[in-house]
Amino acid sequence: MKNLFLLIALFTGLTAAGQELMGQQLVMGRVDTLHSVILNEKRTIWISLPRSYHSSPKTQEGPAVQEPVSHEPASQGPALQKRAVHEPLQRYPVVYLLDGNNHFASVSAMLRQLSPQDGNQVFPDMIVVGILNTERNRDFTPYRSNWWLYPTTQDFGFNGGNDRFAAFLEKELIPYIDSLYPTAPYRLLIGHSLAGLAVTNIMIGHTPMFNAYIAIDPSMWFDGRKFLQQHVQPDLIQKRFPGTKFYLGIANSVQKDLDTTTILKDTTAATFHMRSIFKFRDMVLQNANDSLCFAWKYYDQDTHMSAPLITIYDGLRFIFDYYPIEVDARYYDPKDNRDPAALFRSHFKKVSQQIGYTMLPPENLVNLFANSFDDVQLDKKVLSLRLLNVQNYPKSFDANDAIGDVYAAQSNVKEARRFYEQALLIRENAATRAKLLKLREVQ
- pTM summary value: 0.88
Domain end among 319, 338, 373: 319
Structural domain tally of the chain? 2
CA pair distance 13, 57, nearest whole angstrom:
25
Q: Helix or strand or coil: residue 66?
A: coil
- Structural domain contains residue 343: no
List residues bridging with 378 in a β-sheet.
Answer: none
The pLDDT of residue 53? 85
In tens digits, the chain (443 residues) has pLDDT values of 444 443 444 344 444 444 566 677 888 899 999 999 999 999 999 999 998 887 665 533 333 333 333 444 333 344 334 444 445 678 999 999 999 999 999 999 999 999 887 668 899 999 999 999 999 999 999 999 988 877 776 777 678 999 999 999 999 999 999 999 999 999 999 999 999 999 999 999 998 999 999 999 999 999 999 999 999 999 999 999 999 999 999 999 888 777 888 889 999 988 999 999 999 999 999 987 778 999 999 999 999 999 999 999 999 999 999 999 998 899 999 999 999 999 999 999 999 999 999 999 999 999 999 999 999 999 999 999 999 999 999 999 999 999 999 999 999 999 999 999 999 999 999 999 999 999 887 66
The pLDDT of residue 20? 66
CA pair distance 1, 159, nearest whole angstrom:
51
- Structural domain contains residue 334: no
Same domain for 229 and 378, yes or no, is no
Same domain for 180 and 104, yes or no, is yes
The backbone torsions φ and ψ at residue 304, rounded to the nearest 5 degrees and listed phi first, read: -55, -40
Same domain for 292 and 359, yes or no, is no
Same domain for 56 and 151, yes or no, is yes
Which among 221, 246, 216, 219 is positioned nearest to 306, based on CA atoms? 216
CA pair distance 347, 353, nearest whole angstrom:
10
Contact 52, 45 (CB under 8 A): no
Q: What is the CATH number of the domain that holds 397?
A: 1.25.40.10
Same domain for 315 and 357, yes or no, is no
The pLDDT of residue 146? 84
- Structural domain contains residue 325: no
Helices (H), 266-378: 272-287, 307-319, 340-355, 363-375
Q: What is the CATH number of the domain that holds 103?
A: 3.40.50.1820
Same domain for 231 and 361, yes or no, is no
- Structural domain contains residue 107: yes
Same domain for 292 and 384, yes or no, is no
Same domain for 60 and 176, yes or no, is yes
